Each structure stands twice: as structure tokens, then as C-alpha cells.
Amino acid sequence: MEFSDVVKRRRSIRKYKETPVPKESIMKVLEAARLAPSAGNRQPWHFIVVTDKSTKARLAGSQRWAADAPAIILGLADVEASPDWHINDLALAFEHAILAATDLGLGTCWMGQMYRDGEIKKMLSIPEKMKVVAITPVGVPDENPQIKSRKTIEEIVSWERYGGRSS
């Protein structure tokens, strides 16, 4: 699929089929994350793939629909490896993963989880130096959400200074 098509097709999926996701597909998603750029090439990330039903339910918390996906991927940022840029770097890698999943016909939904950092660390034996930034369910979509409206390019882009228009 063309990159522009992947970007246009990506949606937040909250309903998944029970179809298992092949490990090779998960690995392709994670390989895309691995190749993301990072400040100083520190690559301050780690990913955990969870397929256990009860663990997925605990990770989903109040967003119970997420537990119905065949897998959940957690994105962790290494605070020690990149004190200033760990969250930005993890966000780049996580978005690479989400776009790769879309390219493979899989659905995802970025779920920020920084507020549950301590709880999730205990649940999955995550070291203190790692910060839980986000999780995403991964699976075959069982819905096709409509395209949401977006601001126009003129509303979000300035030239030379804030509010500056192109000529």
C-alpha cells in the first residue's frame, strides 16, 4: 500500500475480530518501531506483547473493549537512556508500529497510559527506569469507523512566523 493510503486509512479501532494475529505480523509491526529515529540514536524503547486473556483484561482497565483484541502491545520509554527525549522517541516508534499495523490490515488504538505507570509496572515486572507511555490493542478490525473531520492545512500551517500566510 502507498504510504499516503496507509496514513489516510489509519483509524482508532475499538472492536476486533477473534482472528489471531500471526506472530510474523506482530514482528513486522515491531520491526517498524525498531527502525524509528531517536535522539542521539539512543533507541530508548522497549515493547511488551501481551496475548494472555486475563492480563489483557487487566491492561484494558475501564476500556474493556481493548481486551477483545488478540494482542496488546505496550510501549515503554527508558528514562535513563534518554532523560530529555524518551517520550518523544517512544512516540515516534509507536506511531511507526501503528502505521505498519495499518499497512498489514490490522487495527490499533493508541491508548495513553502514563497515568497507570506504577500499576502496569507492578503487573508486568517492568523496571523502574522504564516509563509506560502507551498501549495499543492489535487485531483484525471488526468495524470501519468513518473518517473524522480535520482542520484545513491553512488552519494548522504558518509561514515564516505564527499566522504568516504563504504567497
The average pLDDT across 81-93 equals: 97
pLDDT at 1: 81
* Pairwise CA distance, residues 127 & 134, whole Å: 16
pLDDT at position 114 is 85
Residue 100 predicted with pLDDT over 80? yes
Over residues 143-155, the mean pLDDT reads 92
pLDDT higher than threshold 90 for residue 147: no
pLDDT of residue 113: 86
The answer to whether 47 and 30 are in contact (CB under 8 A) is yes
Closest by CA to 25, choosing from 53, 51, 44, is 51
CATH 2.40.50.460 fits 3-156, yes or no: no
Tens digits of residue pLDDT in 129-141: 999 999 999 999 9
pLDDT the model gives residue 138: 98
pTM, to two decimals: 0.94
Domain positions in the chain are: 3-156
* Confidence at residue 166, expressed as pLDDT on a 0 to 100 scale: 84
pLDDT the model gives residue 81: 97
Mean predicted confidence (pLDDT) in 133-162: 94
75 bridge partner residues: 47, 134
Mean pLDDT of 50-79: 96
Residues 88-114: what's their mean pLDDT?
A: 96
Average pLDDT value for residue range 21-29 = 98
Q: Using CA of residue 17, residue 68, residue 109, residue 129, what is the dihedral sign?
A: negative
What pLDDT is stored for residue 134 in this prediction?
Answer: 94
| CA atoms within 13 Å, Cβ hemisphere of 53 | 3
How far is the C-alpha of 69 from the C-alpha of 15, rounded, in Å?
8
**Mean pLDDT, residues 150-155:** 94
3-state helix, strand, coil in the chain (%, to 5): 40, 20, 40
User: What does 71-86 look like in DSSP terms, one character per residue?
Assistant: EEEEEEEETTT-TTTH
Assign 167 a pLDDT band (cuts: 50, 70, 90).
confident
What are the C-alpha distances in Å from 31 to residues 36, 47, 70? 9, 11, 19
